[in-house]
Structures are given as structure tokens and as C-alpha cells.
Structure 1
Amino acid sequence: MKPLSIHFISIGGSVMHNLAIALHQQGHHITGSDDEIYEPSRTHLETYNLLPAQTGWHPEVIHAGLDAVILGMHARADNPELQKARDLNLPVYSYPEFVYEQSQHKQRVVVAGSHGKTTITSMILHVLKHHGRNFDYLVGAQIEGFDTMVKLTTEAPVIVIEGDEYGTSPLDPQPKFLHYHPHIALISGIAWDHVNLYPTYEQYVRQFELLADGMGKSSTLIFDDTDDMLDVVALKEREDVTRQPYDVHSYRIENGKTVLLTKDQGEVPVLVFGEHNMKNISGALAVCDHLGITEEMFYEAIQSFKGASKRLEKVIDTDSKIIFRDFAHAPSKVEATTAAVKAQYPKHRLVACVELHTFSSLNKTFLGQYRDKLDQADVAAVFYSPHTLEVKHLAPIAPAEIVTAFDRPDLQVFTESAALEQFLKSQQNGQPTVFLLMSSGTFGGMSTHGL
């Protein structure tokens, strides 16, 4: 195949820079630009000599010899490089459009949902890799054993994609997952999020309905049978689309360890825990079955799955203190993750802290969705940065408003990371304690290793 010359506008994005590296590894000529590139993107790009020589937008790098321009969500619609590409009539893609363009000949599996999609995708990739299968993928987190978050080749017969419901690009507000046209789609659950794009719950749910409606003949829709809203979306009649529900996998917890209870393989120990992960395992098992992985093969492989980065990731484990960090920030994720840790460590004191960091979580009209979501914690805390509110042009929020929204009078609210760190240290009183730190951010740069 002739190498392509491809330019990335906003190359520093999480998936964008991984896609750039994946295409570079396939022998394509890659250039890129961005007005800001943070870690780990910067180091990853530098490693492959793909880091732009200077930040900012430089229309002169756009030329008629480019085969494609890939536009990231971080760029603006009036980006000068984008304008130059349009003036030259160059093919401009969002990354979902480009991935679809390069995988039309593959069997496409898309894992979507408000929660669990990264973990389910990671489980599927782990099982396929364990058994030496040839596959491409796109996943939203770093996974142990995988160098990049994207692999895109000409040879692999299958591609497994984590389907994001967030907007596609500055030119296309549709969810990314609508561009993939899956043969197999899994929807893990629906819980309102991204209120800046979907101001009402109904608009948000509609996107998943469109995903299911767009599936072709002889396709399969796999869905969480315990999710009430998914019943509405998934049980709608669609011509020649097979519907396959899944539920919580049978399991038990003994001495802080979780084992799966199976019909033919006996008890299967796993490293992940929590009822939400037992659902994730069932969903991954259903997808793998369609990819030619037997139950025996699946259970053999899933035993060594450690989880995706920052998904109930254990960072410290001593006799008196265990610290988990988790990507949970949406209300449903906060509730499920807190409940999972409490069930796994019933004799430990649970100190749970969530950072309100996203547009939705800092939106006053959305805050009420967090009601009762930290109730499983013995001690509960919330951190948010007033500066983040300013950056996102959102109205100021008073700590008392957060206490009211969570409906927990003893909730501790912090706006400075140093004060939060001091509070968490004060909770280490010798009693066995689990600290659960939930955020898609960094708690204002607080180090978990210093706790």
C-alpha cells in the first residue's frame, strides 16, 4: 500500500496523538499541529519524532500534496489550517470518519454507553490478545500490554472501537459512534451526561437510539438488560437486527477476592471487582462469543485482566491503607464505583472523594443528579476548582450548594488541593481504611502517592 501523507490539526488530543502514532507505525508520513500539548501526549509524540516543532496554527504546513487532514475536537471551526485545507479542497476527516474510512472491509465492533465502555472494550482486547488474534482497536485509556490506544492496519479482519457519544469535531456535533456503522454494537447503559451538547435527558437518550437505528442487516445489538432506558432503546423492532441482552455475571466475594461462578468452568478468580464489573464481564463475554472465542477461552483469559488505567486502579495497598483512583465523575459511575469498593471491603472504613471537573458536573442544573450517590461511603468529600468554573464560563458554585445537591449534610467540600490533601491525611487514624479518589482530572495536581 502506498504511504499516505496525513496532517493532524490538534494532534495533542488523547486519541488523536495515538492515531497519529499508529499511522506512523504503518509507514505513513505524519505531521501535526496544536496550540497546547500536555503530558502524556507530549512525551509520546516526542518518542516517535512527531511532536510539532512549535505550538500554534501554521497554514503554511497545509499543502496540495496532503492525502488527508484529520481534524480534532479541540480545534475551532475557524482554525486557519482548516481554512487552508478547505481552500485547497483537501479531504478533511474527523478521526471517527477516518477510522471508518480505513476499516470498511473489517468486521466492526463498537462498545458504547454512559459507563463501562472503556473497561468492556479493554476486556475484549485483552481476551483477543491472550489468544493471539489479529485485530485493530481504538480505546479511550491506556491498557497494560498495549503500547498505544489505537491500532489501524490493512491486515486485521476485525476492529474493536470504544464508541464515544461526545461530539465528533468542531464541524460535526453528532456523537462519534454514529460514524462507525457497527456489525456488532454493545450499549452498556444510559445515564444523562454531556449537558453542554445534550441539554435534556431525552436528547441524550436519542443518540443511542440513533446508533441502534443505524445498524445494518444481520447486525447484533448487545445491551444491559438491567438498564430500564436500554429496554426502551434496544427492544424497538429493527429489521434483521439480532438483540442480545446480558445481566450481572454470577459471582461471590471471599476474603476480599472476587470469583466468577460458571456453569462449566467452575469458579474463576478475577482481579476486577464490583457489580458493575460483573456486568462488564458479561457484556465482553457476549461480544467475544461473536468473535469466535469460546467460554472456556474467555474465562482462561479474563483471569489476568487487571483493568484499564484509572479504572479502580489500586495505587497503594498496605495493612492499614488502600488507595484506589478511578475515572468516575458522572453520577452513575460515582454511585457504582463507591458501592463496588464498599462491597469488596466491608470491614474497612471507606473515604470517598469525587472531583467535579467536567462541564456537566459543574453545571448547576445537573448537580442534583448526584443526590445520594456517595451514600455508601463512611466519609464523603467533594473537590472542585473555582478556576475551572471560570475557564468553562460557568456560574460560581458555593460549597453549600454542593452539600444540598448530594443531600449529605456531613459532606466535606474543598476548593484547594492542599486542604483536601490535609483532610485525607487526617483520616488515616490506624483503622483499616480504603480511600477512593474519583476524577477525570487531577484534584488540582494533588499526588496520591503523598497520602
Structure 2
Amino acid sequence: MKTHFIAIGGSAMHNLAIALKDKGYQVTGSDDAIFEPSKSRLENKGILPQEMGWFPEKITADIDAVILGMHARQDNPELARAKELGLKIYSYPEFLYEQSKNKTRVVIAGSHGKTTITSMILHVLNFHQKDVDFMVGAQLEGFDCMVKLTQDNDFMVLEGDEYLSSPIDLRSKFLLYQPNIALMSGIAWDHINVFKTFDDYIDQFRKFVASITAGGVLVYNEEDPEVVKVVEAAENYFRKIPYKTPEYEIMDGKVHLKTEMGDVPLSVFGAHNLLNMEGARHICRQLGIMDEDFYEAIMSFKGASKRLEKVEREDKGILYKDFAHAPSKVKATVKAFQEQFKKEKKYGFLELHTYSSLNPVFLEQYDHAMDGLDEAIVFYSEDALKIKRMEPISPEFIKEKFRNGALRVFTNAEDLHAYWETLDKTDGVFLMMSSGNFGGLDLTK
């Protein structure tokens, strides 16, 4: 099968391209910019475009599938050529469904926790050598690629994202998967640039639940009132399995899960991670993994990339980085950090750089998000606001919305880096929350 990727360099897109190459497909692609690690990974597979840019002449009548990434624009010249030739054009999730329509599809959805839950499930299955197809949004220890596609596997585990499918398909990605088994971890308004109201955002999850196949299964977080409302209002037939935070205690700085089989020591911490783990356990049950086998495997789970991931520093200082940027994620991560490090001095850094997080209306959601830290620092770039054509935001406005007068606010990278240099990284513990990189800050030094 001959496939062509428009915007092959994206995090998800390049992994799908590699998975198809490994499956034996003929793969080509284009992009106007490709960065690491996508560049090296595509090059190693022999599918890195020779030059950057869009080339309509690459689109030929013998292509079986054109896969369109979100990075491409509606007026992309390669897309226009594909339409002209009448080629089959897929969004990323649409193509994944096409590859898994004869398998049992397991879809993990929610505003937060979905990457971690998917990662936990795959870790457990891998530990017990149970082979499945999958797509997950973070690099996992023990896995070469974030996408795996085969002819023979019975199951496919998919991280279900509620963001848009492609520039020409404005449906939420997870609405295309039609899950047989699903999980919903939580609902907290996100992607304000696309979903203008909270109800519009919640409506995507209503549609997701309605897309579960007849007689399917939904595992859901019964501690989230918005999730419960959506589940209770569902009119289609499926089996409902609720889950909640399990019992645990912290002994000698390590979390121990309380189970019928005794204490289970874990390598991760935070009540939200244990809640995620409980959801993963119920999904693994549906896949034939008994609780005893789940606990045996989960002890060695160290976390998904950038999800409370410990950074090895040259000075041996204790520092964790986390992808948290949405308000609900920030609050959960800060709470976990406080619970884990009760006696140490706690520094928390948060970078605001997504469209939602810099929106004055959305900033209301961050109230008290950084409370309980000894030093709380927020960084956003005034240049980023200009690039996004957004109105300026003052540091005083940030402090007001966070309801935290002691907050330190930096608006340019140079000042943030200068402050960073003044800190003794061995005096206290550090939490770095961002989907960016704090203006190029090296966290290992």
C-alpha cells in the first residue's frame, strides 16, 4: 500500500509513518519544517523528505492513502492536488480506525490522565508479553515507537484526544474510533480556542460516550462529577464500571498501595496517579490481566515521559518535570508534589504558552493553582503574546487570577534564567510544569 503524509514531521504523524514503514507500506511525506527527534527517527527509517516544503508533484494517482496532519493548512498545495485527483484523504485518527476496524478497540479519553493511563496499560501488557497494537502520546520506556500496527493482533489501545482531527475534519479525534472498551478519566474545560464554552467542550464527551459500540464497556472516574453526569445521561447500551482513588500510604518517601494481596510499593507518586492506576487496572481486567499480575507489573512503572518525570541533574538536586499546563492538571500535580515532599522547601515553576492558558477569561481557572508551594513562579513570554496576536497581560493580572500575591512572574526568558542561576538546586525540591521549555532552560544543570 502506498501512503503519503502531508505534515509528516509532527509528533503523532511521524510515529504513524514509522509504524506503517515497519508494517511494509510504501511511505512518503512532506513538511515545511521538521525538528528533533522526528527528524532523526524519520531519517533512520529512510522516509525523511529530501527537502522542506510542499510539492504537489509528489501527489500521484497511484497513492492509496493521503494522511493529513493538523499542522497543514486548508489551502495546502499537496492537499489541493490530492482532492483534484480524487484520492482518499484520511485524518490521523480516521486512518487509525481504518487500521483497527476489525480489532477490539480500547480508547482512553479524558481532559487529563489519558496519556498516563494508556502508558500504564501498555507497560503492564508489555511486562506480561501480551502483544497489542497501540497509539500513545508519549515516549515510553521499552517501546521504540508510539504507534504499533500489525495484521494479527486482536486488540488496539488508543489514547483518545478530544482535539480536532484535521484542518478539513473538525470532529474531535476520539469520535472516529468507535470504541468497544472505553475509559473516561475526567472532564475539565480545555482547548478554549476551539471549544468556546464549557458546554461545547462537554458535548464532545457526550458524543464520545454515544460512540461506544452496542454492548461495549465504559470504565469511568466516579470522583469526577462532570464525568458522572455524562455517563448517567447516556442513552446507548453499554456496561458501566466506576473507579475511584485506592487506599495508599507513604512510607519512607515511597508510595505503597493497599490491596487485598498486601502492600504494593510503587515508583510513582500522587493521588491523581493512583487514580489513573485504578482506571488502568480495570481496563487491564477487560484484556485478561488478573489483579495479581497487574500489581506485579505496575511496581516497575516509572511514569510516562514528562509526567512527573524525574530529571537526573549533575548536582544530584531533586527536580521533576511535568507536562501540566491546563489548570486541573497543574492543581493535581502541585497537590501530588506537596504530599510527596512534606518537609522539603518546594519550588514550583509554571510556563503559560498555549492559547488557552494565555486567554484572560480562561486564566480564571488557575485560582489557587500554585498555593502550598514555598516559592511559586509563573513564566510567559510577551513575545509569544505578540506572535499569537493577543492583548498584553500584566504580571499583576496573573497574580490576581491565580489568587496568589506572593507569586513571582517573569515575562521574558533572560530574567527567568537569571533568577534560575541564583537558586541552589540542592536546597529544596523543584517542580517544572510546561508543555514548552521555559525559553530554553537546561534543567540538568
For residue 243 of structure 1, what is the amino acid of its counterpart? K
Q: Which runs of 4+ in 1 moved over 4 A?
A: 317-320
- The correspondence for 1:57, drawn from 54, 68, 71, is 54
8 Å CA contact 2:210, 2:234 repeated in 1: no
Q: Which residue of 2 aligns with 1:373?
A: 369
Aligned-residue offset at 1:197:
0.5
CA distance in 2, matches of 1:237, 1:409: 43
Q: Which residue of 1 aligns with 2:383?
A: 387
8 Å CA contact 1:418, 1:446 repeated in 2: no
Q: Which residue of 2 aligns with 1:427?
A: 423
CA distance in 2, matches of 1:170, 1:114: 21
Q: Which residue of 2 aligns with 1:443?
A: 438
Q: Which residue of 1 aligns with 2:75?
A: 78
8 Å CA contact 2:66, 2:82 repeated in 1: yes
Query: Are 1:66 and 2:63 an aligned pair?
Result: yes
Query: Are 1:276 and 2:282 an aligned pair?
Result: no
CA distance in 1, matches of 2:268, 2:57: 49
Distance 1:28 1:237, change over 3 A: closer
Q: Which residue of 2 aligns with 1:173?
A: 170
CA distance in 1, matches of 2:142, 2:265: 20
Q: Which residue of 2 aligns with 1:262?
A: 259
Q: Which residue of 2 aligns with 1:242?
A: 239
Q: Which residue of 2 aligns with 1:94?
A: 91
Q: Which residue of 1 aligns with 2:294?
A: 298
- The correspondence for 1:324, drawn from 320, 325, 332, is 320
CA distance in 2, matches of 1:20, 1:104: 19
Question: What SS class does the counterpart of residue 347 from structure 1 fall into?
Answer: coil
Question: What SS class does the counterpart of residue 307 from structure 1 fall into?
Answer: coil
Q: Which residue of 1 aligns with 2:407?
A: 411
Cα offsets for 1:123-153 (capped at 9, x unmatched): 0000001111120000001000000110111
Question: What SS class does the counterpart of residue 318 from structure 2 fall into?
Answer: strand
Aligned-residue offset at 1:210:
0.6
- The correspondence for 2:181, drawn from 165, 184, 187, is 184
For residue 217 of structure 2, what is the amino acid of its counterpart? T
CA distance in 2, matches of 1:56, 1:400: 43
CA distance in 2, matches of 1:186, 1:57: 38
CA distance in 2, matches of 1:237, 1:201: 18
8 Å CA contact 1:235, 1:243 repeated in 2: no
Query: Are 1:345 and 2:341 an aligned pair?
Result: yes
For residue 253 of structure 1, what is the amino acid of its counterpart? I
Question: What SS class does the counterpart of residue 445 from structure 1 fall into?
Answer: coil
Q: Which residue of 2 aligns with 1:357?
A: 353
Unaligned 5+ residue runs, structure 1? none
Question: What SS class does the counterpart of residue 444 from structure 1 fall into?
Answer: coil
CA distance in 2, matches of 1:317, 1:6: 42
Q: Which residue of 2 aligns with 1:140?
A: 137
Q: Which residue of 1 aligns with 2:123?
A: 126
Question: What SS class does the counterpart of residue 285 from structure 1 fall into?
Answer: helix
For residue 136 of structure 2, what is the amino acid of its counterpart? V
Aligned-residue offset at 1:336:
0.5
Cα offsets for 1:140-168 (capped at 9, x unmatched): 01000000110111111100000011111
For residue 432 of structure 2, what is the amino acid of its counterpart? L
Aligned-residue offset at 1:22:
0.4
8 Å CA contact 1:216, 1:241 repeated in 2: yes
CA distance in 2, matches of 1:299, 1:398: 48
CA distance in 2, matches of 1:113, 1:413: 30
Q: Which residue of 2 aligns with 1:30?
A: 27
Could you tell which deviates more after superposition, 16-25 or 207-216?
Answer: 207-216
Aligned-residue offset at 1:429:
7.7
Question: What SS class does the counterpart of residue 201 from structure 2 fall into?
Answer: helix
8 Å CA contact 1:8, 1:71 repeated in 2: yes
CA distance in 1, matches of 2:77, 2:439: 33
Question: What SS class does the counterpart of residue 443 from structure 1 fall into?
Answer: coil
CA distance in 2, matches of 1:284, 1:177: 18
CA distance in 1, matches of 2:107, 2:220: 12
